[in-house]
Structure 1
Amino acid sequence: MTGFFPSRTVSFYMARLFLVRTFGILAALVIVLQALDLLSESGKILAVPGNGDAQVWGYVSLRAPEIAARFLPFSVLLGTILTLIQMNQNSEVVALKSAGMSAHQVLAPLLVASLGVALLSFAFNDRIVSRATATLDLWQKAEYGPLPRDRGDRSNVWVRDGDDLVQVDSITGRGDAARLAGVTVYDRSGGSLMAIVRAAEGRRHGDGWRVRSATRFDVASGQVTALGDIVVARGVRADQFTLGTVNAEGLSFRALRAAIGDLADAGRPTKALEGALWHKLSGPLSSVLMPLLGAVAAFGLARSGQLFLRAVMGMALGFAYFVADNFALAMGNLGAYPPFLAAWAPFLLFFLIGEAVLIRSEE
């Protein structure tokens, strides 16, 4: 065949086998794992007065998308191996190779189908899983009781204003109605502390914050000066004070990128969140790797007695990728890896490994 793909009939046949097995395995995993999860959580849900079957099913609707998103790459790996094992046993791979097709051409329908799965996974994670995760996280913090209303109150907030640091004991309200309590401004120049300004309270005023009865402690002289009512932290927005802990899993790609920008403006560390942002792209794309890593099960004669060993090798390569991916993310959260490297290094590494195994199998 001169085209890169097999015939249309063969391509649709392979893609259908792959997709049916992938989503069949995923459905079975979700059902089993959701049932096991309910064994530990249903008691906690029903222990809250007023909760009943509706709340249990509500928990299932929030938890099932998380399980499906987490185990979709595993399902793609197992679906790939089962599809290729069946084709190998039926000598279909031998027939395709006899027609002059390369190993990449044999796998082409699975690669295209897995790319479609990756796009579906990204959309599913971005639109459904993120919202379900955020809601479930709040509900679990409330111990499965009524969800509390977030009024924007925060405590012990730090914001960077150029070289200066602003610390607020507590803030209530949002936007221009925000009120600060216990304001401390660390006046720095070139990284050296020059003075400390303290005030009991403050509120929004123009592009800054007017604080009342402020005092200034000069570090060099050790003198304390009463300043009265002054405006500090010009250019600092109200939302920079009200930013809470960002749950990367509970935000969509666009919302997480916006939160990272706000945190960076506030002078807060964002490396771990940047790694999570990149992983929202590399995670779904891991589905494209699975046909490459599981391709070892497609080549080699079934009657040689090594088909099971080849299937185990394919599963071992796939699970090694997931281990390396989690390890890289952990290193990124600790600051040992740059965010881009933490998210993409395992993907690129195992892409090269998969290509090497595929070329070796073809030889």
Structure 2
Amino acid sequence: MLGDLFPSKTITLYLARLFVTRIVGVLFLLVLVLQMLQLLSESGDILKVPGNGQAELWYYVTLNVPQLIARFLPYSVLLATLFTFWPLNQNSEVIAMRAAGLSAHQILAPMLLTAGIISLISFTFNETVVAPRTGILKQWSGSRYAVLPKDTGVRTNVYVPDGLNILSAQIVSGTGPTTKLEGVTWYRRDAAGMVMEQVRGSRASFANPGWKLEQVTRFDVASTMQTSQPSLVVAPAVTPAQVAVGKVDADGQNVFQLARSIKAMKASDRRVSELEGKWWHKFAGPLSALLMPLLGSVAAFGLARSGTLLIRAVLGMALGFTYFVVDNAALAMGNFGGYPPLIAAWAPFMLFLLLGETVLVRTEE
């Protein structure tokens, strides 16, 4: 069975070795150039913080390089496909393999197998290395590269919907009924989303139901009148569980952590379509490397002396980059609710898989 899918062992290893070396070379150059540019861009902000020096610059590199590898690995596979097939076609090696009785699928099989292994490695690398470092880098850059405090369980800048209204707190501490809010603001809004009243309190505690604000200042938008009172209970529909679920960074969590965050968000009646789309994309994204040999294979077939080799290479590159554009657009549409999360994550992959296979079959004919 395997003999029908793959060419001989010698050809399989030859094509796989060519493909891997070009992937590594292209990826190394892309990451090196882009990391240098980003380091030049961010080094000023890093070094202007008192106490930061060369160690912090290297720390930034260790956090950022995994992101660049994950982001540009599919592009590297696409370019490596073209750089592999171009000389094979130019030197008539593809013609020799076809003359020996190999089909287009058999010639492509070693590269598809290699790309499949790379997709599996990419998924593992993303979940174990990239995700935690992405979360740390976002927190560090958000603090303008100051020293990150230890995790004390205190959350900042929390916003919770209360029907049409919004409850916000600058600092949230504690859990369950003992949850405490500081720097609290409650916005009462009309059906059109316009703020009708703003209520501020220095602190708040759970009143079961609602939240009891202390040292309250109320501002009525219509009358522009401001009044004060010792306490006031607001947001009766907001529970401590909803407050406990802050903003979720899908890029900074692995699939298991993100699944738990989505479950918690659903329990607190929060919108999760964007997070679900990104959860599915954690599986579909790495598989984009598997598509690249299929989309770039158009450069492998056809006679080099016909003068269309360059056109075929450009066409293969265009197909690959079009996939990334469509993938990002579909994910964005899913985030806005235009597509269900499952379709937004997987539809581009399935569409270009069929497109690439169609091109290859027509080439076979």
Deviation at 1:153, TM superposition (A): 3.3
- For 2:330, the equivalent position in structure 1 comes to 328
SS at match of 2:105: helix
- For 2:88, the equivalent position in structure 1 comes to 87
Deviation at 1:178, TM superposition (A): 2.2
- For 2:343, the equivalent position in structure 1 comes to 341
Amino acid of the structure 2 residue aligned with 1:262 = A
Structure-2 separation of matches of 1:167 and 1:317: 45
Q: Percent identity among equivalent residues?
A: 48
| Counterpart contact for 1:154–1:242, Cα < 8 Å | no
Amino acid of the structure 1 residue aligned with 2:180 = R
Amino acid of the structure 1 residue aligned with 2:329 = F
- Does 1:97 find its partner at 2:98? yes
- For 1:8, the equivalent position in structure 2 comes to 9
So what's the TM-score if we normalise by structure 1? 0.82
Distance 1:202-1:288 versus aligned 2 partners, 3 A rule: same
- For 2:47, the equivalent position in structure 1 comes to 46
Deviation at 1:89, TM superposition (A): 2.1
Distance 1:285-1:169 versus aligned 2 partners, 3 A rule: closer
Distance 1:2-1:173 versus aligned 2 partners, 3 A rule: closer
- For 2:173, the equivalent position in structure 1 comes to 173
Structure-1 separation of matches of 2:100 and 2:86: 19
CA displacement 1:17-49 (0-9 Å, x = unmatched):
101101110011000000111111111111111
Structure-1 separation of matches of 2:174 and 2:282: 30
1:282 to 272, 281, 284: 284
| Counterpart contact for 1:155–1:168, Cα < 8 Å | no
- For 2:194, the equivalent position in structure 1 comes to none
Deviation at 1:132, TM superposition (A): 1.0
SS at match of 1:3: helix
Deviation at 1:156, TM superposition (A): 5.6
Q: Which residues in structure 2 correspond to 1:205-224 (within 5 Å)?
A: none
| Counterpart contact for 2:160–2:168, Cα < 8 Å | no
- Name segments (4+ residues, structure 1) moved above 4 Å: 154-157, 164-169, 180-184, 208-213
Amino acid of the structure 2 residue aligned with 1:260 = I
Distance 1:154-1:41 versus aligned 2 partners, 3 A rule: closer
| Counterpart contact for 2:158–2:247, Cα < 8 Å | no
CA displacement 1:262-313 (0-9 Å, x = unmatched):
1111111011111111111111000010011000011011222221111111
SS at match of 1:284: coil
Distance 1:108-1:169 versus aligned 2 partners, 3 A rule: closer
| Counterpart contact for 1:166–1:183, Cα < 8 Å | no
Structure-2 separation of matches of 1:47 and 1:180: 33
How many residues of Structure 1 are paired with residues of Structure 2 in the alignment? 331
- For 1:249, the equivalent position in structure 2 comes to 251
Structure-1 separation of matches of 2:30 and 2:212: 60
Amino acid of the structure 2 residue aligned with 1:46 = L
Deviates more, 1:125-134 or 1:144-153: 144-153
Structure-2 separation of matches of 1:46 and 1:212: 44
- Kindly report the root-mean-square deviation, in angstroms, between the aligned alpha carbons of the 2 structures: 3.0
Structure-1 separation of matches of 2:245 and 2:145: 25
1:311 to 304, 310, 313: 313
- For 1:108, the equivalent position in structure 2 comes to 109
Structure-2 separation of matches of 1:178 and 1:18: 56
Deviation at 1:165, TM superposition (A): 9.2
Amino acid of the structure 1 residue aligned with 2:357 = E
- For 1:25, the equivalent position in structure 2 comes to 26
Gaps of 5+ in 1: 187-198, 214-227
Deviation at 1:81, TM superposition (A): 1.1
Structure-2 separation of matches of 1:211 and 1:64: 44
Amino acid of the structure 2 residue aligned with 1:296 = V
SS at match of 1:172: strand
- Does 1:59 find its partner at 2:60? yes
Distance 1:165-1:202 versus aligned 2 partners, 3 A rule: farther
Gaps of 5+ in 2: 189-200, 214-231
Deviation at 1:179, TM superposition (A): 2.5
Distance 1:5-1:259 versus aligned 2 partners, 3 A rule: same
Deviation at 1:51, TM superposition (A): 0.6
Structure-1 separation of matches of 2:122 and 2:338: 29
| Counterpart contact for 1:253–1:277, Cα < 8 Å | yes
- For 1:297, the equivalent position in structure 2 comes to 299
Structure-1 separation of matches of 2:37 and 2:204: 51
Amino acid of the structure 2 residue aligned with 1:7 = S
Structure-1 separation of matches of 2:268 and 2:161: 5
Structure-2 separation of matches of 1:137 and 1:59: 11
So what's the TM-score if we normalise by structure 2? 0.82
| Counterpart contact for 1:172–1:179, Cα < 8 Å | yes
- For 1:192, the equivalent position in structure 2 comes to none
Amino acid of the structure 2 residue aligned with 1:122 = F
Distance 1:327-1:40 versus aligned 2 partners, 3 A rule: same
| Counterpart contact for 2:206–2:212, Cα < 8 Å | no
Deviation at 1:103, TM superposition (A): 1.1
Deviation at 1:202, TM superposition (A): 3.5
